[in-house]
Amino acid sequence: MRTKMRAAVALAAAAVSCATFSPTAQASTAAPAAVMGGCGTFTPCGEATNLTPWGMYITTNLGTGTSGYCDVWNKNGGSTPSSWHAKCDQRYLAPGAHYGGGNIDVDAFTFNDRGYYMTFSTRTWHAAGVWTKITDLQEAKCDDRNGVPECWIG
């Protein structure tokens, strides 16, 4: 009887040990959501707010998209010009809409049918279809200024 009892205790201890430390048990825990740029729960994600009467376009996969390209004027974000012809998937953002933040990272934006002003430290004009990259810590806001889109970091 004692031998059976010792075997049962040893088997139970082994089962608890395997459940606690086995790779299978660790892999079954939920992984955090993967997003571009490493943003998420503790780090903000890029956002875009379209306060204009025109549709704008955003991308959440700048550099890794599969359906098209984005011609970016500021590859590293910010006001320093550095051109980049990057793979991306373009997504329409309707007038009055907001996208990004939380676990969704907007990487860049444009207006495909009209030029727009962008203000970082200085105000610059960008032709239709030229993309502005934003960082995880930024929210691009665009509104209508005398019939022309004007964007800034909010």
Residue 26 clears pLDDT 50, i.e. is over it: no
Residue-by-residue DSSP string for 14-61: HHHHHHHH-HHHHHTSPPPPP-GGG-SSSS---EEEEESSS-EEEES-
pLDDT at 87: 98
Residue 93 clears pLDDT 50, i.e. is over it: yes
| 40 pLDDT tier (thresholds 50, 70, 90) | confident
Are the beta carbons of 99 and 40 closer than 8 angstroms? no
pLDDT at 19: 36
Residue 37 clears pLDDT 90, i.e. is over it: no
What tens digit of pLDDT does each residue of 55-88 get?
A: 999 999 999 999 999 999 999 999 999 999 999 9
Q: What is the pTM of this model?
A: 0.75
As a whole number, the mean pLDDT across the chain is 81
Cα(134)–Cα(64) distance, integer angstroms: 16
What tens digit of pLDDT does each residue of 6-24 get?
A: 444 344 444 433 333 333 3
Cα(56)–Cα(35) distance, integer angstroms: 22
Residue 32 clears pLDDT 60, i.e. is over it: no
